[in-house]
C-alpha cells in the first residue's frame, strides 16, 4: 500500500512537471531574442587619424626617448561596433571608442534600414556614447532600460552584438559578478561570450530589459575565454537627455577616496562587522572636507542603502548627477554620524596654462602647469592629484635627442619637499636641485641630478 501511494505521488509530480509550452519544452530564449534583436544596430564610423611617415616614431621605445622628426599624414580609418536603441525616437547607447573622432556615422538596423547618426554626448572616461538617428519618420524598435536593477550573480543574461562583422548574434551566460573593478572602472562581469564587434551591444536580463553594454573581454589571444565585461546601465542613465556643448560629459566630483573595509581595519575602528568602506584621502577642495568628513571615517551606507565594498561605492558615485545630495552614514570612534554632501563639477580650469622652464635645470625646455581636478579628469588622470605639476612638453637634451621626461609626467617632490604648484617648483629649484620624484602613470620614478 505504501509502495502504491509512492507511485501515485511520483506520477502526479511527473505530470505536474510536464512542460506546457514550446518555450518550456525547449528551454528556449527565443521569446527574449525576438523582443530584443530588432533594437540591436550595427555602427560604422569613418574617422580621420594621423599617422607618422617615420617608421621609427611608431615604435614605442624610440618614440619615448628620442626626438624623431614626424611627418604626419591623415588617413581615413573605419571602425565597426554595435549599439542598442533605447527609445522610439532613435536614441542609441554604444561605447565611446566605437565613434570617437568620427567624421561620419552610419547605423544599420536588423531589418536593413540605414540611417545617419550624430553624437549627443560622450563620456570618454567611462567609454559611453549616446547617439541619435537623423531623419527618423518610421517606427523604431527599442529595448527598455531596467527601472531598478535587482540582478544578482548567477542570473541568466543574453549578450547581443555583431561580432567580427558576421551579423547580429546572441550568446547566453550568467552574470558572474555585479561589480568588478577593471582598470579603475566598475563593470559587470559575465561569461556570455563577447567578441570584437560586440562592443556597444546589449546585455539583457530574462525580461528583455537592458542591464548593461558589452565593453571588453579579458583575454591574451583576443578570443573569448568566458570573462567578459559590460558597462552597468545605472552609470549610463545620467547621460540620457543631455547634449553637452563640447560633446563630452563631466562626471560629478566628491573629492575623496575610499577603500574596502577588512577585518583588521574594522577592529582598529572598533567595528564588529567588515562591511563598508573607509576614507583614505580627502582633497582640500572637496565638498566633503567642508562638511567635516575626516580621513579614517567608515561609510556604512549611502542614502540608507548599505555599502559593502569600494566597487559598490564607486558604482553609486557613477549613478550620481552634479549638485545631487548624498546622505552618508558614518562611523567615527564608536559613534554613528550622518553627513549630507553635494556632488559638484570638478573645480578648476580644464585648459592647461603652462609655463616654460628655463635655466640650468634637467626640465629646461619643458612646459609645466598647475594641475586642477577639472584638468586631471580631462586628461584621464586621478583628480586627487590636484596641486602637483604636470609636464606639458618634453625637454630634449643636446646630442642624441635623449629625453628623460614625457608629457603627462607629474612632479611630486624636489629634494624631499612636496611640489604643489609652479611657484613651489620655482622656489625649490632656484639654487639648483639634487633629486626629483616623478609620477608616471602608476609608477614613481626618482631622478638624481649631478
Catalytic residue among 82, 176, 199, 300: 199
Which residue is catalytic, options 97, 149, 382, 393?
A: 97
Q: What's the rounded Cα separation, in Å, for the pair 73 and 91? A: 34
Q: Is 165 helix (H, G, I), strand (E, B) or coil?
A: helix
Rounded to whole angstroms, the Cα distance separating 207 from 32 reads 7
Spatial CA neighbour of 255 closest among 236, 280, 229, 227: 280
Q: Is 191 a catalytic residue?
A: no
Residues 444, 336: Cα–Cα separation, whole Å:
38
194 three-state secondary structure: coil
Q: Is 378 a catalytic residue?
A: no
Closest CA to 327 of 294, 355, 301, 356: 301
β-partners of residue 341 are: 326
Phi, psi torsion values for 444, nearest 5 degrees: -115, 115
DSSP 229: E
The conformation of residue 9, written as its DSSP 8-state character, comes to H
Q: Please say if 127 is a catalytic residue.
A: yes
Cα-based distances in Å from 380 to 46, 335, 370: 24, 37, 16
Contact 177, 191 (CB under 8 A): no
Report the DSSP pairing between strands 169-182 and 114-123: unpaired
Cell of 146: 531596467
Q: Can you say whether the dihedral through the CA atoms of 13, 19, 24, 26 is positive or negative? A: positive
Nearest-angstrom CA–CA distance, 235 and 97: 17
CB neighbours (10 Å) of residue 77? 13
**DSSP sequence for 344-407:** BPPPS-SS---EE--SSSTTTT-EEEE--HHHHHHHT--GGGTTSEEE-S----TTT-B-S--T
Burial (CB < 10 A; 0-12, 13-18, 19+), residue 6, is exposed
Candidate list 82, 110, 127, 378, residue with the active-site label? 127
Residues noted as catalytic:
97, 127, 199
Amino acid at each position: 500500500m505504501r509502495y502504491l501511494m509512492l507511485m501515485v505521488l511520483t506520477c502526479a509530480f511527473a505530470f505536474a512537471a510536464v512542460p506546457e509550452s514550446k518555450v518550456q519544452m525547449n528551454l528556449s530564449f527565443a521569446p527574449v531574442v525576438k523582443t530584443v534583436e530588432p533594437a540591436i544596430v550595427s555602427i560604422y564610423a569613418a574617422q580621420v587619424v594621423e599617422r607618422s611617415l617615420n617608421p621609427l616614431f611608431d615604435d614605442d621605445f624610440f618614440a619615448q626617448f628620442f626626438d624623431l622628426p614626424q611627418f604626419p599624414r591623415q588617413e581615413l580609418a573605419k571602425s565597426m561596433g554595435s549599439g542598442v536603441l533605447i527609445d522610439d525616437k532613435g536614441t542609441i547607447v554604444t561605447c565611446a571608442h566605437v565613434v570617437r573622432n568620427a567624421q561620419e556615422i552610419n547605423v544599420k538596423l536588423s531589418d536593413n534600414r540605414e540611417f545617419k547618426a550624430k553624437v549627443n554626448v560622450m563620456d570618454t572616461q567611462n567609454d559611453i556614447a549616446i547617439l541619435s538617428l537623423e531623419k527618423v519618420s518610421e517606427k523604431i524598435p527599442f529595448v527598455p532600460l531596467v527601472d531598478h536593477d535587482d540582478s544578482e550573480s548567477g542570473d541568466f543574461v543574453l549578450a547581443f552584438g555583431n561580432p567580427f562583422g558576421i551579423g547580429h548574434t546572441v550568446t547566453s551566460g550568467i552574470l558572474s559578478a555585479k561589480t568588478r573593478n577593471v582598470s579603475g572602472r566598475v563593470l559587470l562581469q559575465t561569461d556570455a561570450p563577447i567578441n570584437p564587434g560586440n562592443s556597444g551591444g546589449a546585455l539583457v536580463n530574462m525580461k528583455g530589459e537592458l542591464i548593461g553594454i558589452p565593453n571588453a573581454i579579458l583575454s591574451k589571444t583576443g578570443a573569448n575565454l568566458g570573462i567578459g565585461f559590460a558597462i552597468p546601465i545605472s552609470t549610463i542613465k545620467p547621460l540620457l537627455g543631455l547634449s553637452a556643448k563640447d560633446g563630452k560629459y563631466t562626471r560629478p566630483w566628491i573629492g575623496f577616496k575610499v577603500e574596502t573595509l577588512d577585518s583588521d581595519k574594522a577592529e582598529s575602528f572598533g567595528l564588529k562587522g567588515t562591511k563598508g568602506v573607509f576614507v583614505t584621502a580627502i582633497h582640500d577642495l572637496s565638498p566633503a572636507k567642508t562638511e567635516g568628513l575626516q580621513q579614517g571615517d567608515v561609510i556604512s551606507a549611502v542614502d540608507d542603502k548599505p555599502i559593502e565594498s569600494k566597487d559598490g561605492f564607486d558604482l553609486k558615485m557613477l549613478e550620481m548627477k552634479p549638485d545631487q545630495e548624498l546622505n552618508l552614514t558614518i562611523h567615527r570612534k564608536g559613534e554613528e554620524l550622518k553627513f549630507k554632501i553635494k556632488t559638484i563639477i570638478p573645480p578648476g580650469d580644464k585648459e592647461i596654462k603652462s609655463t616654460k622652464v628655463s635655466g640650468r635645470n634637467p626640465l629646461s625646455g619643458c612646459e609645466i602647469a598647475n594641475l586642477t581636478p577639472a584638468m586631471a579628469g580631462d586628461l584621464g588622470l586621478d583628480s586627487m592629484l590636484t596641486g602637483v605639476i604636470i609636464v606639458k612638453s618634453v625637454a630634449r637634451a643636446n646630442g642624441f635627442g635623449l629625453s628623460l621626461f614625457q608629457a603627462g609626467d607629474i612632479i611630486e617632490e624636489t629634494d624631499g619637499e612636496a611640489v604643489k604648484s609652479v611657484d613651489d617648483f620655482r622656489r625649490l629649484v632656484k639654487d639648483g636641485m639634487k633629486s626629483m620624484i616623478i609620477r608616471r602613470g602608476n609608477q614613481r620614478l626618482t631622478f638624481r641630478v649631478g
